[in-house]
Amino acid sequence: MRASCWWASNLAGKPFVGPAGRILDRALADAGIPRNETFVTNAVKHFKFEMRGKRRLHKRPNTYEIERCKWWNDVERLIVKPDVVVALGATAARSVTVTISKMRGAPIDLADGARLVITIHPSALLRTQDEADKRAKYREFVKDLKVAARLVFKSAA
């Protein structure tokens, strides 16, 4: 089956299996997007971390690391041929396009005919301490995903 969405994340290993993955799963459901009809991948294919006691804390990839993995993401997109790409966070956005714009939630046409939607990474919600702010950010996240959902359903029609 051809995937209708291509998701880029900046987590390592199997994408979105931890707390951020649970937020993504809930947000996808709230946006009306079936998770099993999406292709989820990592923008950077290795897990960069620093040890804090027994915990491995994720470290943001640098521009060089993002660029070194860009070809891999390009090949995945050639294979999957998505109608819509959703970049979750700045690292994912950089892996799709060199220029990071303030186009959050606004579809961008890519050279290969796909559409790009940039939104926040779900882990940003985990770092938000104020509950009211967290709920507002979550609503905006779901709103961005609904933009992607409309694009997918529009292209399928």
The residue type of 68 is R
Domains belonging to the chain, first-starting first, are: 5-152 (3.40.470.10)
Mean pLDDT of the chain: 79
Q: Using the predicted structure, report yes or no on whether residue 154 has a pLDDT greater than 90.
A: no
Q: Are strands 38-42 and 108-109 parallel, antiparallel or unpaired?
A: unpaired
Structure tokens at 19: 């707390």
pLDDT (tens digit per residue) in 13-65: 467 777 888 899 999 999 999 988 888 887 877 767 677 887 767 677 777 78
Residue 128 gets the label, from left (phi > 0), alpha (psi -120 to 50) or beta, of beta
H/E segment holding residue 40: strand 38-42
**Tens digit of each residue's pLDDT (9 = 90 or more) over 108-127:** 888 888 898 888 888 888 98
Does pTM top 0.75 for this prediction?
no
Kindly report the three-state secondary structure assignment for every residue of 106-125. Answer: CCEECCCCCEEEEECCCHHH
Tokens representing 130 are 């104020």
